[in-house]
Amino acid sequence: MISGEEYRERLKEHKKEIYVKGEKVGYDHPNVKPVVNAIAYTYDLAKEMGGVHSDLINGKVNVLNAVIKSFEQLVFRYEFQKELSHRLATCNYRCTGCDAINSLAAGLNDKGRKKLFEFLKEVQKNDLACTASLTDSKGDRSKRPSEQKEQYVRVVDEQRDGIVVSGAKIHQSGAFASEINFVLPGQTFKKGEEEFAVAFALTPEDKGVSYVVQNTGYQALQREGADAGNPKYGDRITCVVIMDEVFVPWERVFIYKDLRATASVLQNFANSHRCVGAACKAEFLASMAGAASLMLKANGLENVSVLRQKVAEIVGLSEAAFAISIGAAYKGEKVGEAYVPNAIMANSAKVAGVDSFMKAIGILTDISGALPATSPSEEDLKAEGIGEKLRTILKASEKFSPEERLKIAKFVSFWLSSSHVFGAVHGGGSPSAALIFLQYLADFERYEKPVKDILS
């Protein structure tokens, strides 16, 4: 397993087409570098916490590149990602890569799985950073893919040594800083739509791939170099991945016009990602609890019991979210060649995790007051003429300097007003999608029978 610094050095070899506000940029751009920092930390934490055994290379690998084989390995993965969320307070960007690896290992037939495992040997030997892209732009939601082909990733040509694909994936977390980007179908397809039923892996060398980074108010703050709240790791930074007649060799094509495999892989990915999302959200909630506690102390309110109870409520929500993911792992099963979480509990984790996240957002807003939304810039405190006046105005508890109080407020603002909220709600599919899964998976007769027995 390599270090974060080795990953950074390796990135210098890649010449990806990355765009910010219409300008082609490199990995040192302030809207790109936080993602690089976060992914680098996934390597350093693996050095600290260790890896898991891989039969493919008969050695230890980063758990985010592993085919999960047991309950113990799945729990370790959740604990690993929980710790990442705790230390980064943002996305680690590699969980989708792990979900892709395991959903493919679970859902492919023997031929496809053999091809996947040959590819994974190289991924694991070189400790490559993997992400995955699923969401197509979809266009008019009332139309089928065949009616608006340009809105979906699709096969545009079949050649002797591979396929050519075009289309785009949107809302893709950190894909521009990965070394392998698995591209999976974002929905099931009907007979006659086989051209969209395709899964493959992109490498930095593939020509015709462009990455357009999101641009929000938070990204503007990053470019200014101040007031970003979480300056080193940033908020959840996504991109549009544009594929313009990209050639993919057969050895990196794992699904080709196979509707059954598409449905199986998609379902396993959704269950996996929704469950690990609860583990990640658990520590996002813990980060909010820490921010709320510091805000109380900076305001001189740490001894107000009703406010401390609100912080404790966030802690309870955090632990409950993680407990559901662990329960889903305990109740999991082997599917194909991967150990996967219990489907009904995984989707329940998504619903509960989002509810808890949104409730914590409300509590943090209540506790923190208006300062996170109305505070001046950190640069204003240094300005001649107004700096000293502002330092007096922003002073509260004697235990915190005005600068420290302002930094805490900016971190709270990072949680309340960055793209994290959208990522928490819609990552891995919206709560409504999870509820559809639950409606499909639930055995309502099991719920009804005891009531009938009581009433009989």
Q: Which residues pair with 236 in a beta bridge?
A: none
User: Is 367:292 a contact under the CB 8 Å cutoff?
Assistant: yes
In the chain, residues under CATH classification 2.40.110.10 are 4-262
For residue 252, which phi and psi values (nearest 5 degrees)? -110, 15
For 92-137, the DSSP string reads: -S-HHHHHHHHHHHHHS-HHHHHHHHHHHHHHHHHT--EEEE--B-
In the chain, residues under CATH classification 1.20.140.10 are 268-448
Q: Report CA-CA distances (Å) from 162 to 115, 151, 252, 258.
A: 14, 22, 9, 16
Strand locations in 304-401 (E): 333-335, 338-340
The fold of 4-262 is Butyryl-CoA Dehydrogenase, subunit A; domain 2 (2.40.110)
Q: Which residues pair with 164 in a beta bridge?
A: 157, 247
> In CATH, what is the architecture of 268-448?
Up-down Bundle (1.20)
pTM of the model: 0.95
Q: Of 44, 18, 45, 302, give the one whose Cα is nearest residue 181.
A: 18
The tokens of 359 are what?
A: 């409730």
For residue 239, which phi and psi values (nearest 5 degrees)? -155, 165
Q: 335's torsion region: left (phi>0), alpha (psi -120 to 50) or beta? A: beta
User: One digit per residue, pLDDT tens: the chain, 456 residues?
Assistant: 999 999 999 999 998 999 999 999 999 999 999 999 999 999 999 999 999 999 999 999 999 999 999 999 999 999 999 999 999 999 999 999 999 999 999 999 999 999 999 999 999 999 999 999 999 999 999 999 999 999 999 999 999 999 999 999 999 999 999 999 999 999 999 999 999 999 999 999 999 999 999 999 999 999 998 888 999 999 999 999 999 999 999 999 999 999 999 999 999 999 999 999 999 999 999 999 999 999 999 999 999 999 999 999 999 999 999 999 999 999 999 999 999 999 999 999 999 999 999 999 999 999 999 999 999 999 999 999 999 999 999 999 999 999 999 999 999 999 998 888 888 888 878 888 899 999 989 999 999 999 999 999
Helix or strand run (H / E) with residue 208: none
3-class DSSP assignment, residue 159? strand
Helix or strand run (H / E) with residue 303: none
Residue that the structure tokens 């055994």 belong to: 53
